[in-house]
C-alpha cells in the first residue's frame, strides 16, 4: 500500500496542469480516489465531516443489486435450459448465464464510463460516481438477447442526451438507466418485446422444444391466458422469463432491505410505490371487465419489473421527488400509473418504465407544490404579524 | 414547568475528549487579541495605534458605518500589534498586558432599573459591551436604533463537546440578574430564557426574575437559539430578535453592578487531542497559547479551533479566543490518504447514516479528524439535510436559491430564520461535501446588501 501510494505520488505530477498527460487528469483522479480516500482537509465551515461520501453511497446501492444480479445470471441459464429441454446442474446453469450477462455489463460500463470520463475532463470536474450504479442497472433491465451494439448506442444516448447535456449526475431529469431502456424500446421494439427476446438463444431459434413459449407472465396476462401463467410462487422466486435482473422479487427484496437498513434508499418511495400499485390493482378488481383486471391486486406486485422499479429505479434520488412529502406522492403515482399502463394499454405490456419516466418529469412539479405550501405557511405568519 | 418542546430531528456527534468538570483559574495571559473577523460584515476603523496604552474597556476599534458601536480591550496594557491579512484587512488587535492587576475604565456602577433605555444603550456602547448583543436575522451585531420584538437567551449548548452552561455560570447569580435587568430595558417584548428539559437547571438560571422560561429537549441543534426562536416566536420579514449568550449576559451584568468591562468567563478546553480536557476561567480574548499551553498531544499534527468543531474558527497557538466563543476544541488533522477508505467497514468512523459498522457499537465516542472523507460533488442524495434541521424549512431548496442568487426565493424559503450554526449539521452530513455554511453566509450578505 505504501509502495502503491509512493508510486501514485511519483506519477501524479504528469497528470496535473502542465504535465505530459494533463488530458487524462480526471481519469487519473478517478482511479487515485478509488484507491485512496484523498487527504484533503476542511478549510472552511465545519471542521469535521461525516465519513459517508458519494462513493460509499453508490457502493451500497451496487451491493444491494448483487442478489438480483446473481439470481438473474442463474435464471438466464435456467430459462435457456428449459427452452431446449435440457436439465443442467446448478453451476452449469449459472455459468451459462454469467457468460451471457457479462458482455452486457462490460459494454454498459465501458461505453458509459468512457463518456463520463471525457465529460469530466472537459468540464474540469471530478468524475461523479453516479454511473457506477446506472452501469449495473442497465444490463439488469435488458432482455438477455439484446445485441451489444444496440446496447452501446442506447447507453451513449442516455448518458449524453439524458445526463451530460443537463450538467451531469445530480442535474439530470430522467433516470439514465430507464432512458437507455426506453430508447431501445422505441427504436428497436422487435428486440425489446415479444415472446422470444427474454430467453437466451430463442431469437436465433436454437433447438426449442415443442410447446415451449418464452412469453412473460405479463404477456400471458395481457393475452388473457391467465390459466397458463406461472404460479405466484414461481413469480415471487423469479423462475420466469423476463429482463435479466427483474424476475426475482425475493432477490429484489433482499436488496431493498439493504437499502432501507443503511438508509441509502428511500423507504417512503418504496412503500408508496407498492401502495400505489395495490390501490390501482384493487380498483381494477372492483370494476373488472376482463380477465386481466381480475388478477388479484397483490399479484401485480410480483409480476414484471414492478418490484425492481420500485426498489431501484423510483428511488433514484436525483430524478425522484426531493421533498419528503413529495416522495409519498411521487411513489404512489409511480405505482398507480404503472398498473394503469400495464392493464389498460394493450400496446405496452409493462408500465413500470414509462410510469417512472413520466413521474421523473413530474417530480419537480410535485416538489414545487410542496415547497409552495411551506412558503404560504411562512407568508401567513407574516400577515398575521402585520395585522396585529 | 411550562410545556417541553421536543426536538426530534438532529444529530449528536459523540466526540472523544469531553471536558471534565474541573475549573482551572488561568492567570493573566501575556497578550490578548480582539478580532474584527469575529463580527461578520464589520468594517473596522482603529481607535488606537501601536504603542498606545489602554485600559480594560478602552475602545480599540469601531464600526465604520455605525461609529457609536465600539469594540473594547478586555485588559489593560499596551497595543503592541495590529495584524493584517490580505488586502490589509485587520485580523487582530493585540494588547500586551502589564504586570499587576488589570486597570479598568470606570463607567460608574448603576442599577439598570434606575436608567432609561437610552442610558442603558449608551453605557453598553461606550464600554464596548454592545457587540455581545446580536440580531436575528443574519447573526450580526445588533443595530442600537432597532427595537427587537423579543430577546432570546439559550441556557444550554448541545454542539459537539460543548461546555455545560450550568457549570460555566456557577456563582454568577447577581451579575446574571443585573444583565437580564439591563436587557429588559431594550425590548418591548419578552426575554425568553431557554433551558434544557433533561435536567434541573442551575440556580443562576432557575432563580432569575423577569424572563419567560422555555424548555427544550433533543439532539443538537436543540440548544441553538435559532431553533428556539423558530419554535417560540418565529421571525417574519421586517422583524428583529436579539440574542445574547448567557456568559455574555454576565459580562453585561458586571458593567452595571461594578461599572467596569470585566470580560471574565468560563470556557471549556476539549477534544481528543487535549491531554486533560477541563474548564478554564479566563478573560475573553486570551491567547490560545495561554489556554492550551502544554496540555495538547504533541504526537500528531492537531488543529485548534476557537469554538466548537462545527462552527468554530481555526486558530493557531499565536491566535486568540474568539469574542463569542465558549470553548476551544483540539482535534487531529486528517491530511492522510486512506487505502480503499470509502469501502472499509469503518469501525472507527462516525456517520449519521447507517453505512458504517460503528453504528452497531452504542455509546462509542470518536476521535474525528479534519479529513473531508471524499470529494466535492453535485448534490445527489436527498433527505439528508432535513434529518438534521429541526425547522419547517427546506434546506436544500434554500441553498439552491442562494446559489442561484434568487433574492425573493431566499426570503420566501426562510433565510431570515437561519444562520450558519443552525445549518452546520447539514454541512457535516452532506455526502457531496457541500460547503453549506459558506454558501449560507454568502446568501445572508446578499440579503444585507439588498435590504440596506
> Given an 8 Å threshold on Cβ–Cβ distance, is A53 in contact with B342?
yes
Pairing of strands B134-136, B77-84: unpaired
The nearest alpha carbon in chain A to B408 belongs to A375
- CA-to-CA distance for A200 and A241, rounded, in angstroms? 10
pLDDT number for residue B300: 85
* CB nearest A371 (choices: B336, B380, B397): B397
Q: pLDDT class for A204, splitting at 50, 70, 90?
A: low
> Given an 8 Å threshold on Cβ–Cβ distance, is A45 in contact with B349?
no
Region of A305 on the Ramachandran plot (φ > 0 left; ψ -120 to 50 alpha; else beta): alpha
Q: pLDDT class for A250, splitting at 50, 70, 90?
A: very high
User: How much of chain B exceeds pLDDT 70, in percent?
Assistant: 100
> Given an 8 Å threshold on Cβ–Cβ distance, is B309 in contact with A261?
no
The nearest alpha carbon in chain B to A172 belongs to B380
Of A378, A40, A277, which is closest to residue B336 (Cα–Cα)?
Answer: A40
User: C-alpha cell of B407?
Assistant: 433574492
Contacts of B378 in chain A (CB under 8 A): 128, 167-171
> Given an 8 Å threshold on Cβ–Cβ distance, is A169 in contact with B334?
no
User: C-alpha cell of A230?
Assistant: 406461472
Sign of the torsion formed by the C-alpha atoms of A312, A315, A317 and A320? positive
The C-alpha of B125 sits at a distance from chain A's nearest C-alpha, in angstroms, of 30
Of B6, B40, B38, B422, which is closest to residue B225 (Cα–Cα)?
Answer: B422
> Given an 8 Å threshold on Cβ–Cβ distance, is B383 in contact with A317?
yes
* CB nearest B383 (choices: A35, A266, A381): A266
pLDDT number for residue B388: 94
pLDDT at B329 over 70: yes
Would you call A87 exposed, middle or buried from its count of C-beta atoms within 10 A (0-12, 13-18, 19+)? exposed
The C-alpha of A383 sits at a distance from chain B's nearest C-alpha, in angstroms, of 9
Per this entry, what is the length of chain B?
452
Region of A273 on the Ramachandran plot (φ > 0 left; ψ -120 to 50 alpha; else beta): alpha
The whole-number average pLDDT for the span A209-217 is 72
Of B276, B335, B270, which is closest to residue B301 (Cα–Cα)?
Answer: B335
Let me know if domain A57-373 sits in CATH 1.10.3430: yes
> Given an 8 Å threshold on Cβ–Cβ distance, is A381 in contact with B236?
yes
Q: What is the pLDDT of residues B160-170, one digit of tens each?
A: 999 999 999 99
ipTM, two decimals: 0.90
Task: Please check whether residue A23 is in contact with residue B285, taking contact to mean a CB–CB distance below 8 angstroms.
Answer: no
Its pTM stands at: 0.91
pLDDT number for residue B263: 93
The whole-number average pLDDT for the span A195-224 is 74
Task: Please check whether residue A180 is in contact with residue A168, taking contact to mean a CB–CB distance below 8 angstroms.
Answer: no
SS3 assignment, position B451:
helix
Average pLDDT, chain A: 88
pLDDT number for residue A208: 65
pLDDT number for residue A386: 66
* CB nearest B339 (choices: A35, A45, A51): A35
Q: Where are the beta strands (DSSP E) in B109-163?
A: 134-136, 140-141, 150-154
Q: Is the omega angle on the peptide bond into residue B221 within 30 degrees of 0, that is, cis? A: yes
Q: Delimit the domains of chain B by residue range.
A: 4-257, 385-451
pLDDT number for residue B445: 94
pLDDT at A320 over 70: yes
Q: What is the pLDDT of residues B202-214, one digit of tens each?
A: 999 999 999 999 9
Contacts of B239 in chain A (CB under 8 A): 385
* Whole-number Cα distances in Å, B211 to A11, A34, A232, B308: 65, 56, 67, 28
Give the least confident one: A201-215, A351-365, B204-218.
A201-215
Of B13, B8, B99, B2, which is closest to residue B308 (Cα–Cα)?
Answer: B13
The whole-number average pLDDT for the span B42-58 is 93
Contacts of A317 in chain B (CB under 8 A): 380-383
Q: Which of A34, A49, A388 to mutate to test the interface with B (most CBs of B within 10 A)?
A: A49
- CA-to-CA distance for B407 and B412, rounded, in angstroms? 9
pLDDT number for residue A207: 58
User: How much of chain A exceeds pLDDT 90, in percent?
Assistant: 53
Task: Please check whether residue A109 is in contact with residue A30, taking contact to mean a CB–CB distance below 8 angstroms.
Answer: no
Which range scores top for mean pLDDT: A22-36, B63-77, B98-112? Answer: B63-77
Half-sphere exposure of B1 (CA within 13 A, CB side): 14
Of A141, A154, A144, which is closest to residue A204 (Cα–Cα)?
Answer: A144
The C-alpha of A223 sits at a distance from chain B's nearest C-alpha, in angstroms, of 41
> Given an 8 Å threshold on Cβ–Cβ distance, is B431 in contact with A50?
yes
User: How much of chain B exceeds pLDDT 90, in percent?
Assistant: 78
> Given an 8 Å threshold on Cβ–Cβ distance, is A50 in contact with B429?
yes
Give the least confident one: A226-230, A358-362, B88-92.
A226-230
pLDDT number for residue A130: 85
> Given an 8 Å threshold on Cβ–Cβ distance, is B437 in contact with A170?
no
Q: What is the pLDDT of residues A125-166, one digit of tens each?
A: 888 888 999 999 999 999 998 999 999 999 999 999 989 998
* CA B308 from centre of chain: 8
Contacts of A52 in chain B (CB under 8 A): 351-353, 355-356, 373-374, 429, 431
The C-alpha of B276 sits at a distance from chain A's nearest C-alpha, in angstroms, of 21
Contacts of A323 in chain B (CB under 8 A): 394
Size of interface A-B (CB pairs under 8 A): 207
pLDDT at A58 over 80: yes
The C-alpha of B59 sits at a distance from chain A's nearest C-alpha, in angstroms, of 30
Q: What is the pLDDT of residues B418-435, one digit of tens each?
A: 999 999 999 999 999 999
pLDDT at B1 over 60: no
Q: What is the pLDDT of residues B182-199, one digit of tens each?
A: 999 999 899 999 999 998
pLDDT at A196 over 80: no
pLDDT number for residue A252: 95
The nearest alpha carbon in chain B to A260 belongs to B354
Contacts of A2 in chain B (CB under 8 A): none
Q: pLDDT class for A387, splitting at 50, 70, 90?
A: low
* Whole-number Cα distances in Å, B92 to B49, B50, B54, B260: 13, 12, 16, 23
Walk across the sheet containing B150-154 and list its strands.
B4-6, B212-217, B191-196, B150-154, B241-243, B134-136, B140-141
Q: What is the pLDDT of residues B254-313, one digit of tens each?
A: 999 999 999 999 999 999 999 999 999 999 999 999 999 888 888 889 999 999 999 999
Beta bridge partners of B184: none
The nearest alpha carbon in chain B to A385 belongs to B236
> Given an 8 Å threshold on Cβ–Cβ distance, is B236 in contact with A385?
yes
Region of B281 on the Ramachandran plot (φ > 0 left; ψ -120 to 50 alpha; else beta): beta
pLDDT number for residue A205: 62
Q: pLDDT class for A206, splitting at 50, 70, 90?
A: low
The nearest alpha carbon in chain A to B417 belongs to A378
Task: Please check whether residue B15 is in contact with residue B160, taking contact to mean a CB–CB distance below 8 angstroms.
Answer: yes
Average pLDDT, chain B: 92
Q: Which of B381, B385, B396, B444 to mutate to test the interface with A (most CBs of A within 10 A)?
A: B381
Task: Please check whether residue B344 is in contact with residue B368, taking contact to mean a CB–CB distance below 8 angstroms.
Answer: no
Could you tell me which residue, A187 or A15, shows the higher pLDDT? A187
* CB nearest B341 (choices: A37, A45, A170): A37
The C-alpha of A45 sits at a distance from chain B's nearest C-alpha, in angstroms, of 6
The nearest alpha carbon in chain B to A8 belongs to B337
- CA-to-CA distance for B211 and B281, rounded, in angstroms? 27
Q: Which of B304, B325, B378 to mutate to test the interface with A (most CBs of A within 10 A)?
A: B378
Q: What is the DSSP letter of B440?
A: H
Contacts of B160 in chain A (CB under 8 A): 48
pLDDT at B171 over 80: yes
pLDDT number for residue B19: 93
- CA-to-CA distance for B46 and B36, rounded, in angstroms? 10
> Given an 8 Å threshold on Cβ–Cβ distance, is A42 in contact with B370?
yes
- CA-to-CA distance for B206 and B213, rounded, in angstroms? 9
The C-alpha of A333 sits at a distance from chain B's nearest C-alpha, in angstroms, of 19
> Given an 8 Å threshold on Cβ–Cβ distance, is B431 in contact with A35?
no
User: C-alpha cell of B244?
Assistant: 445574547
> Given an 8 Å threshold on Cβ–Cβ distance, is A48 in contact with B432?
no
Q: Which residues contact B337 (CB under 8 A, 6 or more apart)?
A: A5, A36, A37, A38, A39
Q: What is the pLDDT of residues A346-358, one digit of tens each?
A: 778 788 999 999 9
> Given an 8 Å threshold on Cβ–Cβ distance, is A324 in contact with B386?
yes
Sign of the torsion formed by the C-alpha atoms of B383, B389, B390 and B396? negative
Supply angle C-alpha B57, B62, B68, rounded to 5. Answer: 85
Contacts of B375 in chain A (CB under 8 A): 33, 38, 40, 53-54, 126
* CB nearest B378 (choices: A41, A52, A169): A169
Per this entry, what is the length of chain A?
388
Amino acid at each position: 500500500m505504501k509502495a502503491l501510494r509512493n508510486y501514485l505520488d511519483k506519477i501524479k505530477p504528469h497528470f496535473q496542469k502542465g504535465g505530459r498527460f494533463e488530458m487524462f487528469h480526471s481519469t487519473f483522479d478517478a482511479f487515485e480516489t478509488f484507491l485512496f480516500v484523498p487527504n484533503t482537509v476542511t478549510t472552511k465551515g465545519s471542521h469535521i465531516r461525516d465519513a459517508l461520501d458519494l462513493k460509499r453511497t453508490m457502493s451500497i446501492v451496487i451491493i444491494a443489486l448483487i442478489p438480483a444480479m446473481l439470481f438473474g445470471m442463474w435464471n438466464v441459464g435456467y430459462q435457456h435450459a428449459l427452452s431446449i429441454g435440457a436439465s443442467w446442474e446448478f453451476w452449469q446453469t449459472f455459468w451459462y448465464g454469467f457468460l451471457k450477462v457479462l458482455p452486457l455489463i462490460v459494454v454498459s460500463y465501458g461505453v458509459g464510463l468512457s463518456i463520463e470520463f471525457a465529460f469530466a475532463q472537459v468540464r474540469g470536474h471530478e468524475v461523479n460516481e453516479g454511473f457506477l450504479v446506472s452501469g449495473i442497472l442497465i444490463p439488469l433491465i435488458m432482455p438477455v438477447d439484446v445485441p451489444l451494439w444496440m446496447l452501446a448506442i442506447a447507453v451513449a444516448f442516455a448518458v449524453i442526451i439524458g445526463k451530460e447535456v443537463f450538467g451531469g449526475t445530480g442535474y439530470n431529469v430522467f433516470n439514465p438507466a430507464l432512458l437507455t431502456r426506453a430508447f431501445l424500446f422505441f427504436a428497436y421494439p422487435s428486440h425489446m418485446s415479444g415472446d422470444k427476446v427474454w430467453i437466451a438463444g430463442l431469437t436465433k431459434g436454437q433447438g426449442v422444444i415443442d410447446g415451449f413459449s418464452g412469453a412473460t407472465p405479463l404477456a400471458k396476462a395481457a393475452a388473457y391466458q391467465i390459466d397458463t401463467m406461472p404460479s405466484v410462487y414461481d413469480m415471487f422466486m423469479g423462475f420466469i422469463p423476463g429482463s435479466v435482473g427483474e424476475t426475482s422479487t425475493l432477490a429484489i427484496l433482499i436488496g431493498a432491505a439493504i437499502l432501507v437498513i443503511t438508509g441509502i434508499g428511500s423507504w417512503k418511495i418504496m412503500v408508496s410505490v407498492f401502495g400505489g400499485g395495490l390501490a390501482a390493482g384493487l380498483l381494477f378488481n372492483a370494476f373488472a371487465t376482463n380477465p386481466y383486471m381480475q388478477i388479484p391486486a397483490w399479484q401485480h406486485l410480483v409480476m414484471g419489473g414492478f418490484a425492481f422499479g420500485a426498489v431501484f429505479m423510483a428511488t433514484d434520488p436525483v430524478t425522484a421527488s426531493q421533498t419528503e412529502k413529495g416522495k409519498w406522492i411521487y411513489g404512489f403515482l409511480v405505482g398507480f400509473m404503472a398498473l394503469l399502463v400495464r392493464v389498460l394499454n394493450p400496446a405496452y405490456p409493462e408500465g413500470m418504465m414509462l410510469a417512472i419516466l413520466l413521474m421523473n418529469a413530474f417530480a419537480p412539479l410535485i416538489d414545487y407544490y410542496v415547497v409552495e405550501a411551506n412558503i404560504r405557511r411562512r407568508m401567513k405568519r407574516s400577515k398575521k404579524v402585520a395585522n396585529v | 414547568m411550562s410545556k417541553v418542546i421536543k426536538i426530534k430531528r438532529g444529530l449528536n456527534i459523540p466526540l472523544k475528549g469531553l471536558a471534565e468538570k474541573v475549573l482551572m483559574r488561568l492567570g493573566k495571559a501575556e497578550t490578548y487579541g480582539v478580532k474584527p473577523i469575529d463580527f461578520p460584515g464589520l468594517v473596522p476603523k482603529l481607535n488606537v495605534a501601536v504603542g498606545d496604552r489602554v485600559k480594560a474597556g478602552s475602545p480599540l476599534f469601531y464600526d465604520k458605518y455605525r461609529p457609536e458601536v465600539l469594540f473594547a480591550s478586555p485588559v489593560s496594557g499596551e497595543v503592541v500589534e495590529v495584524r493584517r491579512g490580505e488586502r490589509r484587512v485587520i485580523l487582530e488587535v493585540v494588547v500586551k498586558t502589564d504586570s499587576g492587576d488589570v486597570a479598568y475604565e470606570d463607567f460608574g456602577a448603576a442599577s439598570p432599573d434606575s436608567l432609561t433605555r437610552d442610558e442603558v444603550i449608551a453605557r453598553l456602547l461606550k464600554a464596548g459591551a454592545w457587540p455581545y448583543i446580536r440580531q436575528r436575522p443574519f447573526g450580526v451585531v445588533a443595530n442600537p436604533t432597532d427595537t427587537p420584538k423579543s430577546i432570546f437567551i439559550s441556557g444550554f449548548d448541545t454542539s459537539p463537546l460543548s461546555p455545560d452552561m450550568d457549570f460555566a455560570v456557577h456563582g454568577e447569580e447577581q451579575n446574571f440578574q443585573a444583565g437580564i435587568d439591563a436587557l429588559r430595558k431594550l425590548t418591548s417584548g419578552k426575554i425568553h430564557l431557554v433551558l434544557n428539559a433533561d435536567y434541573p437547571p442551575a440556580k443562576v438560571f432557575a432563580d432569575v426574575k423577569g424572563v419567560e422560561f422555555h424548555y427544550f429537549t433533543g439532539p443538537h441543534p436543540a440548544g441553538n437559539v435559532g431553533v428556539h426562536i423558530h419554535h417560540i416566536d418565529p421571525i417574519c420579514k421586517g422583524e428583529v430578535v436579539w440574542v445574547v449568550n448567557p456568559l455574555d449576559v454576565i459580562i453585561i451584568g458586571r458593567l452595571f453592578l461594578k461599572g467596569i468591562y470585566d470580560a471574565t468567563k468560563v470556557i471549556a478546553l476539549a477534544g481528543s487531542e487535549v491531554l486533560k480536557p477541563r474548564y478554564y476561567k479566563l478573560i475573553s480574548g486570551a491567547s490560545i497559547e495561554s489556554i492550551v499551553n502544554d496540555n495538547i498531544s504533541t504526537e500528531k499534527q492537531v488543529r485548534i479551533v476557537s469554538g466548537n468543531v462545527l462552527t468554530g474558527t481555526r486558530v493557531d497557538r499565536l491566535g486568540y479566543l474568539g469574542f463569542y466563543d465558549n470553548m476551544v476544541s483540539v482535534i487531529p488533522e486528517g491530511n492522510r490518504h486512506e487505502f480503499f477508505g470509502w469501502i472499509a467497514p469503518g469501525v472507527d468512523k462516525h456517520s449519521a447514516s447507517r453505512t458504517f459498522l460503528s453504528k452497531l457499537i452504542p455509546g462509542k465516542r470518536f476521535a474525528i479528524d479534519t479529513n473531508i472523507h471524499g470529494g466535492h460533488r453535485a448534490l445527489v442524495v436527498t433527505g439528508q439535510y432535513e434529518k438534521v434541521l429541526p425547522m419547517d424549512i427546506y434546506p436544500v431548496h434554500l441553498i439552491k436559491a442562494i446559489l442561484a442568487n434568487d433574492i425573493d426565493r431566499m426570503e420566501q424559503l426562510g433565510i431570515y430564520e437561519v444562520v450558519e450554526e443552525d445549518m452546520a449539521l447539514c454541512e457535516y452530513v452532506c455526502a457531496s461535501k457541500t460547503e453549506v455554511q459558506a454558501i449560507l453566509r454568502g446568501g445572508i450578505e446578499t440579503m444585507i446588501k439588498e435590504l440596506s
